């Protein structure tokens, strides 16, 4: 149930009066229970969304902020406050995430900042996709994203080595692609000026008719196979080249190849750890709630797929079993990239169980679950 601290309808109060009335309304109406709250501006827009294990204490804390603190800045713009209670801190955490995702309040920068700590490998759309390292999951629903990773610089080096080895382009998105099996579609003087990476054999040259569309698509498939754990990609080839260079006493070239191998091996290790984490975050999670409002969360690959009251009767247990079969029954490849809309929830759940490892004792694998 939602509660609100609304100022009485009359002439505009002074800032001091407004804050005093809001404080009184919160003190009188809010309880110390888990929940989420929203701060509204005069125009009705949501300025800020927050959560707390103790809503009353948290809201009253805003009125004790120093003038330069963020809480005071939010209050100066706030016309009224609304809050609603949740069964548990975990439920409040999920509710906060979903409200921020839907409303995108202007004072909620923490989530954006947290996401931007992570790097993602993006496989772009279009006739000649490329690999691109981005900060945070940019909202491009047609692209594929692999991650999250820490250490964007290290990931960029590995992606550069992978792109160079497979001949994938790294030019701007607006560069027109001209495959050699599409020559009839355009007039040619394609080699001048040419693609520098094509000339030094680092790119297949899809912009200068250096390859067919199918040949390029095959290389993209190899990149995806590496990112999804089906192949070691060019690591084996680099290793053979490195040994050959050592035999020919080309030590500088061998050292460069060794560095590429190390970068790609480290990236493969991070991908394996990510897949393990996603696989381990698949379970039924029972959370005790305020006043006996216990909930069961059906978590698969790091995101909450369903939530129900904890079963108490036989019929409830049977209904939960049917729901679990629906959620966990369909096959989802463990190597598949995380869907874009689930990335922030995966990060949130990973953080929750890292911070409270004892909560894993409340989880149980669903019968016949396949992560």
pLDDT tens profile 226-251: 888 888 888 888 899 899 999 999 99
The yes-or-no verdict on residue 89 having pLDDT over 70 is yes
pLDDT greater than 50 at residue 190: no
Does 81 have pLDDT greater than 60? yes
Residue 146 in any domain: the answer is: yes
- Do 296 and 262 lie in one domain? The reply is no
* 369 located within any domain: no
For residues 199 and 275, the model is more confident at 199
Query: What is the radius of gyration, based on Cα positions, of the chain?
Result: 27
Contact 220, 130 (CB under 8 A): no
**Is pLDDT above 80 for 340?**
no
Domain closes at, from 244, 267, 290: 267
**CA 132 centroid distance within chain:** 16
pTM score of the predicted model = 0.69
Please report, for the domain that includes residue 82, its CATH number: 3.40.1440.10
Q: Taking the chain, what is the end-to-end CA distance rounded to the nearest angstrom?
A: 35
| Count, residues in the chain | 371
Domain-located, residue 158: yes
Cα 66 to its chain centre, rounded Å, is: 34
Q: 32 and 158 share a domain?
A: no
**pLDDT tens column, 28-78:** 999 999 999 999 998 999 999 999 999 999 999 999 999 889 999 999 999
- Residue range(s) defining the domain that contains residue 93: 2-108
With CA atoms as reference, report the closest residue to 307 among 288, 326, 322, 320: 320
User: In this structure, are 261 and 304 located in the same domain?
Assistant: no
Domain count, the chain: 3
Is 99 contained in some domain?
yes
Q: Are residues 175 and 251 in the same domain?
A: yes
To the nearest whole number, what is the mean pLDDT of the chain?
85
Buried b (16+ CB within 10 A) or exposed e, 53-90: ebbbebbeebeeeeeeeebeebbeebbbbebbbbbbbb
Taking alpha carbons only, the member of 72, 70, 68 closest to residue 22 is: 72
pLDDT surpassing 70 at residue 105: yes
């Amino acid at each position: 149930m939602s509660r609100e601290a609304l100022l009485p309808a009359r002439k505009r109060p002074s800032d001091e009066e407004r804050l005093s009335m809001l404080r009184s309304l919160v003190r009188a109406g809010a309880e110390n229970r888990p929940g989420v709250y929203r701060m509204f501006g005069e125009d009705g827009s949501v300025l800020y969304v927050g959560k707390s294990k103790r809503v009353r204490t948290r809201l009253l804390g805003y009125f004790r902020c120093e003038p330069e603190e963020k809480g005071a800045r939010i209050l100066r713009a706030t016309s009224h406050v609304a809050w609603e209670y949740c069964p548990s801190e975990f439920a409040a955490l999920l509710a906060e995430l979903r409200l921020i995702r839907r409303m995108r309040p202007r004072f909620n920068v923490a989530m954006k900042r947290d996401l931007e700590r992570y790097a993602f490998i993006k496989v772009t759309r279009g006739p000649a996709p490329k690999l691109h390292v981005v900060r945070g999951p940019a909202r491009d629903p047609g692209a594929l994203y692999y991650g999250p990773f820490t250490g964007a610089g290290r990931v960029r080096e590995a992606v550069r080595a992978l792109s160079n080895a497979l001949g994938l382009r790294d030019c701007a998105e607006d560069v027109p692609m001209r495959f050699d099996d599409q020559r009839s579609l355009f007039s040619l003087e394609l080699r001048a000026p040419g693609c520098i990476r094509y000339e030094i054999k680092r790119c297949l040259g899809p912009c200068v008719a250096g390859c067919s569309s199918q040949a390029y698509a095959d290389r993209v498939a190899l990149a995806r196979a590496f990112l999804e754990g089906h192949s070691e990609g060019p690591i084996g080839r680099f290793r053979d080249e490195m040994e050959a260079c050592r035999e020919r006493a080309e030590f500088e070239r061998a050292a460069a190849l060794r560095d590429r191998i190390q970068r790609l091996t480290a990236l493969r290790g991070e991908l394996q750890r990510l897949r393990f984490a996603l696989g381990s975050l698949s379970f039924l999670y029972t959370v005790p709630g305020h006043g006996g409002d216990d909930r069961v969360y059906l978590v698969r690959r790091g995101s909450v797929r369903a939530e129900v009251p904890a079963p108490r009767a036989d019929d409830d247990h049977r209904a939960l079993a049917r729901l679990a079969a629906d959620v966990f029954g369909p096959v989802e490849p463990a190597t598949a990239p995380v869907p874009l809309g689930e990335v922030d929830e995966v990060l949130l759940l990973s953080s929750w169980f890292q911070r409270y490892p004892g909560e894993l004792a409340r989880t149980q694998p669903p019968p016949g679950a396949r992560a």
